Amino acid sequence: MNNNSSDLGEGIKRNREEEDDITSTDRLSHLQRFVINSILSFLDPRSAVQTSVLSRAWRCAWKYVPVLNFRRDSFDKYSSFLHYADRVLSLRFRLDVDTVSYIDDDRTILPFSNVVKYDLSHEAQHLVIDLLNGESMFYSFRFCYLFGTDLNCNLKTLKLRRVSLDTKCDFSGFRMLTDLTLEQSFLISVEDEDVDPFSGFPCLKNLVLTQCLHSDFGNLSSKRSFKISGSQLVNLKLDRLLPTRIEICAPELKFFTLVHDLEFLNFSNLSIPSLVHADIRVSDEEKSMAIKKELKMQRLISFFQGLNSLTSLKLDNYSIQVLSNIDTEFLEQQTSPFTKLESLMVGAVTVRSALLHYFLKGSSSMTPKVEYGYV
Protein backbone atom coordinates (compact mmCIF):
# COMPACT_ATOMS: atom_id res chain seq x y z
CA MET A 1 0.00 0.00 0.00
CA ASN A 2 2.80 2.35 0.95
CA ASN A 3 4.65 1.54 -2.26
CA ASN A 4 1.53 2.22 -4.33
CA SER A 5 1.01 5.56 -2.58
CA SER A 6 4.63 6.49 -3.18
CA ASP A 7 4.43 5.58 -6.88
CA LEU A 8 1.20 7.57 -7.22
CA GLY A 9 2.78 10.60 -5.58
CA GLU A 10 5.81 10.43 -7.88
CA GLY A 11 3.50 10.12 -10.89
CA ILE A 12 1.49 13.19 -9.89
CA LYS A 13 4.75 15.14 -9.37
CA ARG A 14 6.04 14.14 -12.82
CA ASN A 15 2.72 15.14 -14.44
CA ARG A 16 2.87 18.55 -12.79
CA GLU A 17 6.45 19.06 -13.96
CA GLU A 18 5.47 18.10 -17.51
CA GLU A 19 2.49 20.47 -17.34
CA ASP A 20 4.80 23.25 -16.13
CA ASP A 21 7.17 22.54 -19.03
CA ILE A 22 4.30 22.58 -21.52
CA THR A 23 2.91 25.79 -20.02
CA SER A 24 6.34 27.40 -20.19
CA THR A 25 6.77 26.33 -23.81
CA ASP A 26 3.30 27.56 -24.70
CA ARG A 27 4.05 30.93 -23.18
CA LEU A 28 7.15 31.25 -25.32
CA SER A 29 5.27 30.07 -28.40
CA HIS A 30 2.47 32.58 -27.96
CA LEU A 31 4.61 35.67 -27.47
CA GLN A 32 3.91 38.29 -30.11
CA ARG A 33 6.52 38.95 -32.77
CA PHE A 34 7.40 42.44 -31.54
CA VAL A 35 8.06 41.06 -28.02
CA ILE A 36 10.38 38.37 -29.37
CA ASN A 37 12.17 40.95 -31.55
CA SER A 38 12.62 43.19 -28.54
CA ILE A 39 14.16 40.36 -26.52
CA LEU A 40 16.49 39.25 -29.31
CA SER A 41 17.60 42.82 -30.05
CA PHE A 42 19.62 42.78 -26.81
CA LEU A 43 21.62 39.72 -27.95
CA ASP A 44 24.45 39.31 -30.40
CA PRO A 45 23.49 37.21 -33.47
CA ARG A 46 25.22 34.12 -32.09
CA SER A 47 23.08 34.10 -28.93
CA ALA A 48 19.99 35.06 -30.90
CA VAL A 49 20.37 32.04 -33.19
CA GLN A 50 20.72 29.75 -30.18
CA THR A 51 17.21 30.73 -29.02
CA SER A 52 15.79 28.85 -32.03
CA VAL A 53 15.68 25.67 -29.89
CA LEU A 54 13.25 27.20 -27.37
CA SER A 55 10.10 26.49 -29.36
CA ARG A 56 8.75 26.30 -32.89
CA ALA A 57 7.78 29.98 -32.81
CA TRP A 58 11.40 30.90 -32.07
CA ARG A 59 12.96 28.65 -34.72
CA CYS A 60 13.36 31.42 -37.30
CA ALA A 61 12.67 34.41 -35.06
CA TRP A 62 16.29 35.62 -35.21
CA LYS A 63 15.95 36.13 -38.97
CA TYR A 64 13.38 38.89 -38.41
CA VAL A 65 15.20 40.89 -35.74
CA PRO A 66 15.74 44.51 -36.88
CA VAL A 67 18.70 44.99 -34.52
CA LEU A 68 22.06 43.33 -35.29
CA ASN A 69 24.93 43.30 -32.79
CA PHE A 70 28.23 41.93 -34.10
CA ARG A 71 30.95 41.57 -31.46
CA ARG A 72 34.36 40.13 -32.18
CA ASP A 73 34.91 39.28 -28.51
CA SER A 74 32.09 36.70 -28.66
CA PHE A 75 34.39 34.38 -30.65
CA ASP A 76 37.72 32.77 -29.85
CA LYS A 77 38.91 32.84 -33.45
CA TYR A 78 38.60 35.75 -35.86
CA SER A 79 37.87 33.38 -38.76
CA SER A 80 34.86 32.05 -36.84
CA PHE A 81 33.62 35.58 -36.31
CA LEU A 82 33.88 36.38 -40.03
CA HIS A 83 32.16 33.14 -41.03
CA TYR A 84 29.36 33.72 -38.57
CA ALA A 85 28.77 37.33 -39.70
CA ASP A 86 28.57 36.19 -43.34
CA ARG A 87 26.15 33.38 -42.47
CA VAL A 88 23.87 35.65 -40.47
CA LEU A 89 23.65 38.18 -43.28
CA SER A 90 23.06 35.51 -45.95
CA LEU A 91 20.39 33.57 -43.99
CA ARG A 92 18.55 36.54 -42.53
CA PHE A 93 15.20 37.34 -44.16
CA ARG A 94 15.49 40.28 -46.52
CA LEU A 95 13.79 42.78 -44.26
CA ASP A 96 14.93 46.27 -43.35
CA VAL A 97 17.15 46.67 -40.30
CA ASP A 98 16.85 49.42 -37.73
CA THR A 99 20.08 49.36 -35.72
CA VAL A 100 23.47 47.76 -36.36
CA SER A 101 26.38 47.62 -33.92
CA TYR A 102 29.78 46.35 -35.11
CA ILE A 103 32.66 45.97 -32.63
CA ASP A 104 35.90 44.53 -33.98
CA ASP A 105 39.57 44.52 -32.93
CA ASP A 106 41.07 43.38 -36.24
CA ARG A 107 42.43 45.56 -39.04
CA THR A 108 40.76 43.64 -41.85
CA ILE A 109 38.51 46.03 -43.76
CA LEU A 110 36.66 43.64 -46.09
CA PRO A 111 34.28 41.93 -43.62
CA PHE A 112 33.33 45.21 -42.06
CA SER A 113 32.65 46.91 -45.39
CA ASN A 114 30.39 43.99 -46.31
CA VAL A 115 28.38 44.52 -43.14
CA VAL A 116 28.09 48.26 -43.86
CA LYS A 117 26.92 47.63 -47.43
CA TYR A 118 24.30 45.21 -46.15
CA ASP A 119 23.10 47.67 -43.52
CA LEU A 120 22.78 50.61 -45.87
CA SER A 121 21.05 48.53 -48.55
CA HIS A 122 18.50 47.43 -45.93
CA GLU A 123 17.61 50.96 -44.84
CA ALA A 124 19.42 50.89 -41.48
CA GLN A 125 18.70 54.03 -39.43
CA HIS A 126 21.20 53.62 -36.58
CA LEU A 127 24.78 52.44 -36.94
CA VAL A 128 27.52 51.98 -34.33
CA ILE A 129 31.07 51.18 -35.44
CA ASP A 130 33.77 50.49 -32.88
CA LEU A 131 37.09 49.45 -34.42
CA LEU A 132 39.41 48.54 -31.57
CA ASN A 133 42.63 48.70 -33.57
CA GLY A 134 45.32 48.79 -30.92
CA GLU A 135 46.14 51.77 -28.75
CA SER A 136 46.74 54.47 -31.34
CA MET A 137 44.09 56.27 -33.34
CA PHE A 138 46.60 56.52 -36.19
CA TYR A 139 45.77 52.90 -37.04
CA SER A 140 42.13 53.77 -37.60
CA PHE A 141 40.27 53.00 -40.82
CA ARG A 142 39.67 55.68 -43.41
CA PHE A 143 36.06 56.82 -43.55
CA CYS A 144 35.93 56.54 -47.34
CA TYR A 145 37.07 52.89 -47.17
CA LEU A 146 34.17 52.10 -44.85
CA PHE A 147 31.37 53.90 -46.65
CA GLY A 148 32.71 54.51 -50.13
CA THR A 149 32.53 57.82 -51.97
CA ASP A 150 29.12 57.50 -53.62
CA LEU A 151 26.73 57.35 -50.69
CA ASN A 152 23.00 57.84 -50.33
CA CYS A 153 21.57 56.43 -47.10
CA ASN A 154 18.78 56.83 -44.54
CA LEU A 155 20.94 56.73 -41.40
CA LYS A 156 19.65 58.93 -38.60
CA THR A 157 22.34 58.24 -36.00
CA LEU A 158 25.98 57.30 -36.55
CA LYS A 159 28.59 56.56 -33.89
CA LEU A 160 32.17 55.93 -34.99
CA ARG A 161 35.19 55.02 -32.90
CA ARG A 162 38.75 54.94 -34.23
CA VAL A 163 37.97 56.10 -37.74
CA SER A 164 40.08 58.46 -39.84
CA LEU A 165 37.95 61.20 -41.34
CA ASP A 166 39.06 63.28 -44.30
CA THR A 167 37.57 66.71 -43.63
CA LYS A 168 37.07 67.22 -47.38
CA CYS A 169 34.79 64.19 -47.75
CA ASP A 170 31.38 64.76 -49.31
CA PHE A 171 28.80 64.02 -46.61
CA SER A 172 25.72 65.13 -48.51
CA GLY A 173 24.70 61.47 -48.86
CA PHE A 174 23.87 61.48 -45.14
CA ARG A 175 20.77 63.48 -45.95
CA MET A 176 18.77 62.32 -42.89
CA LEU A 177 21.53 62.08 -40.27
CA THR A 178 20.62 63.97 -37.08
CA ASP A 179 23.08 62.50 -34.55
CA LEU A 180 26.83 62.04 -35.09
CA THR A 181 29.38 60.85 -32.52
CA LEU A 182 33.11 60.52 -33.20
CA GLU A 183 35.38 59.01 -30.56
CA GLN A 184 39.18 58.67 -30.63
CA SER A 185 39.19 59.47 -34.32
CA PHE A 186 41.72 61.26 -36.51
CA LEU A 187 40.53 64.27 -38.52
CA ILE A 188 42.73 64.77 -41.56
CA SER A 189 43.16 68.02 -43.50
CA VAL A 190 45.66 68.17 -46.34
CA GLU A 191 45.05 71.63 -47.77
CA ASP A 192 46.05 74.87 -46.01
CA GLU A 193 42.61 76.52 -45.92
CA ASP A 194 40.14 76.45 -43.03
CA VAL A 195 38.24 73.21 -42.60
CA ASP A 196 34.52 72.87 -41.96
CA PRO A 197 33.85 69.11 -41.95
CA PHE A 198 30.32 69.00 -40.50
CA SER A 199 28.58 71.61 -42.62
CA GLY A 200 27.95 68.89 -45.22
CA PHE A 201 25.42 67.13 -42.96
CA PRO A 202 22.21 68.97 -43.85
CA CYS A 203 20.07 67.75 -40.91
CA LEU A 204 22.66 67.37 -38.15
CA LYS A 205 21.22 68.34 -34.74
CA ASN A 206 23.46 66.58 -32.20
CA LEU A 207 27.25 66.37 -32.50
CA VAL A 208 29.68 64.74 -30.04
CA LEU A 209 33.46 64.79 -30.57
CA THR A 210 35.42 62.87 -27.93
CA GLN A 211 39.23 62.64 -27.86
CA CYS A 212 39.52 63.47 -31.55
CA LEU A 213 42.80 64.71 -32.96
CA HIS A 214 43.12 67.09 -35.92
CA SER A 215 46.14 66.83 -38.20
CA ASP A 216 46.98 70.48 -37.40
CA PHE A 217 47.44 69.78 -33.71
CA GLY A 218 50.90 70.81 -32.53
CA ASN A 219 51.56 72.94 -35.61
CA LEU A 220 51.80 76.34 -33.95
CA SER A 221 52.58 78.05 -37.27
CA SER A 222 49.25 77.00 -38.78
CA LYS A 223 46.81 79.88 -39.24
CA ARG A 224 43.77 77.91 -40.34
CA SER A 225 40.77 77.21 -38.14
CA PHE A 226 38.82 74.09 -37.47
CA LYS A 227 35.22 75.15 -37.95
CA ILE A 228 32.15 73.50 -36.50
CA SER A 229 29.09 74.80 -38.27
CA GLY A 230 25.57 73.60 -38.86
CA SER A 231 22.36 75.44 -39.57
CA GLN A 232 20.34 72.80 -37.66
CA LEU A 233 22.82 72.03 -34.87
CA VAL A 234 21.15 72.16 -31.44
CA ASN A 235 23.40 70.17 -29.11
CA LEU A 236 27.23 70.13 -29.20
CA LYS A 237 29.71 68.33 -26.94
CA LEU A 238 33.47 68.77 -27.34
CA ASP A 239 35.46 66.45 -25.11
CA ARG A 240 39.21 67.06 -25.53
CA LEU A 241 39.04 67.94 -29.22
CA LEU A 242 42.57 68.84 -30.29
CA PRO A 243 42.93 71.08 -33.31
CA THR A 244 45.03 74.26 -33.14
CA ARG A 245 42.18 76.76 -33.37
CA ILE A 246 38.39 76.28 -33.15
CA GLU A 247 35.47 78.26 -34.54
CA ILE A 248 31.81 77.51 -33.93
CA CYS A 249 29.03 78.88 -36.11
CA ALA A 250 25.67 77.40 -35.18
CA PRO A 251 22.73 79.86 -35.10
CA GLU A 252 20.33 77.31 -33.53
CA LEU A 253 22.71 75.83 -30.94
CA LYS A 254 20.99 75.62 -27.53
CA PHE A 255 23.22 73.31 -25.45
CA PHE A 256 27.01 73.24 -25.34
CA THR A 257 29.32 71.01 -23.27
CA LEU A 258 33.08 71.57 -23.23
CA VAL A 259 35.64 69.27 -21.60
CA HIS A 260 39.10 70.67 -22.29
CA ASP A 261 42.58 71.33 -21.00
CA LEU A 262 43.42 75.00 -20.63
CA GLU A 263 46.75 74.45 -22.39
CA PHE A 264 44.92 73.78 -25.68
CA LEU A 265 41.94 76.11 -25.27
CA ASN A 266 41.89 78.37 -28.32
CA PHE A 267 38.53 79.51 -29.70
CA SER A 268 38.98 82.18 -32.35
CA ASN A 269 35.26 82.78 -32.96
CA LEU A 270 31.97 81.77 -31.34
CA SER A 271 28.79 82.61 -33.26
CA ILE A 272 26.10 80.89 -31.18
CA PRO A 273 23.41 83.53 -30.53
CA SER A 274 20.71 81.05 -29.40
CA LEU A 275 22.81 79.29 -26.75
CA VAL A 276 20.83 78.71 -23.54
CA HIS A 277 22.91 76.33 -21.41
CA ALA A 278 26.65 75.57 -21.22
CA ASP A 279 28.43 72.94 -19.14
CA ILE A 280 32.13 73.88 -18.88
CA ARG A 281 34.77 71.51 -17.47
CA VAL A 282 38.21 73.05 -17.88
CA SER A 283 41.35 71.69 -16.22
CA ASP A 284 44.99 72.74 -16.26
CA GLU A 285 46.77 69.40 -16.18
CA GLU A 286 49.39 70.26 -18.82
CA LYS A 287 52.31 72.08 -17.18
CA SER A 288 54.12 72.96 -20.42
CA MET A 289 55.57 76.45 -20.59
CA ALA A 290 54.74 76.73 -24.31
CA ILE A 291 51.79 78.93 -23.36
CA LYS A 292 52.18 81.36 -20.48
CA LYS A 293 49.67 81.57 -17.67
CA GLU A 294 48.57 85.09 -18.68
CA LEU A 295 47.76 83.97 -22.22
CA LYS A 296 45.82 80.98 -20.93
CA MET A 297 43.65 83.21 -18.77
CA GLN A 298 43.11 85.71 -21.58
CA ARG A 299 41.93 82.90 -23.85
CA LEU A 300 39.59 81.62 -21.16
CA ILE A 301 38.03 85.05 -20.61
CA SER A 302 37.79 85.53 -24.38
CA PHE A 303 35.99 82.18 -24.61
CA PHE A 304 33.44 83.31 -22.01
CA GLN A 305 32.77 86.45 -24.06
CA GLY A 306 31.33 84.22 -26.79
CA LEU A 307 28.78 82.71 -24.38
CA ASN A 308 26.88 85.98 -23.89
CA SER A 309 23.41 84.58 -24.61
CA LEU A 310 23.47 82.05 -21.75
CA THR A 311 20.69 81.84 -19.20
CA SER A 312 22.24 78.82 -17.42
CA LEU A 313 25.92 78.05 -16.80
CA LYS A 314 27.49 75.05 -15.08
CA LEU A 315 31.15 75.05 -13.95
CA ASP A 316 32.70 71.98 -12.33
CA ASN A 317 35.15 72.12 -9.42
CA TYR A 318 38.22 71.93 -11.68
CA SER A 319 36.99 74.92 -13.68
CA ILE A 320 36.54 76.91 -10.47
CA GLN A 321 40.09 75.99 -9.40
CA VAL A 322 41.46 77.20 -12.74
CA LEU A 323 39.44 80.42 -12.61
CA SER A 324 40.61 81.06 -9.06
CA ASN A 325 44.13 81.55 -10.43
CA ILE A 326 43.07 84.68 -12.29
CA ASP A 327 44.35 87.84 -10.63
CA THR A 328 41.59 89.77 -8.89
CA GLU A 329 42.63 93.07 -10.47
CA PHE A 330 42.57 91.57 -13.96
CA LEU A 331 39.19 89.98 -13.32
CA GLU A 332 37.66 93.23 -12.04
CA GLN A 333 38.69 94.96 -15.26
CA GLN A 334 36.76 92.47 -17.40
CA THR A 335 33.23 93.15 -18.58
CA SER A 336 30.91 90.29 -17.75
CA PRO A 337 29.25 88.96 -20.92
CA PHE A 338 26.49 87.13 -19.05
CA THR A 339 23.72 89.70 -19.38
CA LYS A 340 20.96 87.05 -19.48
CA LEU A 341 22.31 84.68 -16.83
CA GLU A 342 19.60 83.36 -14.51
CA SER A 343 21.27 80.26 -13.05
CA LEU A 344 24.90 79.53 -12.11
CA MET A 345 25.84 76.04 -10.88
CA VAL A 346 29.35 75.50 -9.52
CA GLY A 347 31.01 72.29 -8.40
CA ALA A 348 32.86 74.00 -5.56
CA VAL A 349 31.46 74.58 -2.09
CA THR A 350 32.83 78.12 -2.02
CA VAL A 351 33.79 80.60 -4.75
CA ARG A 352 35.93 83.73 -4.55
CA SER A 353 33.74 86.81 -4.29
CA ALA A 354 35.58 88.52 -7.18
CA LEU A 355 34.98 85.49 -9.39
CA LEU A 356 31.33 85.25 -8.43
CA HIS A 357 30.93 88.96 -9.07
CA TYR A 358 32.41 88.56 -12.56
CA PHE A 359 29.76 86.05 -13.56
CA LEU A 360 26.80 87.85 -12.00
CA LYS A 361 27.50 91.58 -12.31
CA GLY A 362 26.27 91.86 -15.88
CA SER A 363 23.06 89.87 -15.41
CA SER A 364 19.77 91.66 -16.01
CA SER A 365 18.09 89.17 -13.68
CA MET A 366 17.24 90.70 -10.32
CA THR A 367 17.99 87.50 -8.41
CA PRO A 368 20.20 85.08 -10.39
CA LYS A 369 20.22 81.65 -8.75
CA VAL A 370 23.55 80.25 -7.54
CA GLU A 371 23.89 76.56 -6.67
CA TYR A 372 27.04 75.28 -4.94
CA GLY A 373 28.62 71.85 -4.74
CA TYR A 374 26.66 70.12 -7.52
CA VAL A 375 27.78 66.63 -8.46
Closest of 351, 232, 364 to residue 309, by C-alpha: 364
Closest of 113, 96, 95 to residue 104, by C-alpha: 113
Has this prediction a pTM greater than 0.85?
Answer: no
With cut-offs at 50, 70 and 90, classify the pLDDT of residue 139. Answer: very low
Question: Range with the lowest mean pLDDT among 44-53, 132-141, 200-209?
Answer: 132-141
Three-state SS for 282?
Answer: strand
The pLDDT of residue 6:
53
For 22-62, write each residue's pLDDT tens digit. Answer: 444 456 667 777 787 788 777 776 777 788 777 777 878 87
φ and ψ at residue 258, rounded to 5 degrees: -125, 125
The pLDDT of residue 214:
81
Are 354 and 328 contacting, i.e. CB atoms less than 8 angstroms apart? yes
The pLDDT of residue 314:
96
The pLDDT of residue 75:
76
Three-state SS for 266?
Answer: coil
With cut-offs at 50, 70 and 90, classify the pLDDT of residue 141. Answer: low
The sheet with strand 186-188 has its strands ordered as 141-142, 163-166, 186-188, 213-214
Are 182 and 163 contacting, i.e. CB atoms less than 8 angstroms apart? yes
The pLDDT of residue 8:
42
Quick count: other Cβ atoms within 10 Å of Cβ 301? 18
Which regions of 284-372 does DSSP assign to beta strands (E)? Answer: 312-315, 343-346, 369-372
For 242-271, write each residue's pLDDT tens digit. Answer: 877 899 999 999 999 999 988 888 898 999
pLDDT at 1 > cutoff 50: no
Three-state SS for 245?
Answer: coil
Q: Would you say the C-alpha torsion 268, 269, 275, 276 has a positive or negative sign?
A: positive
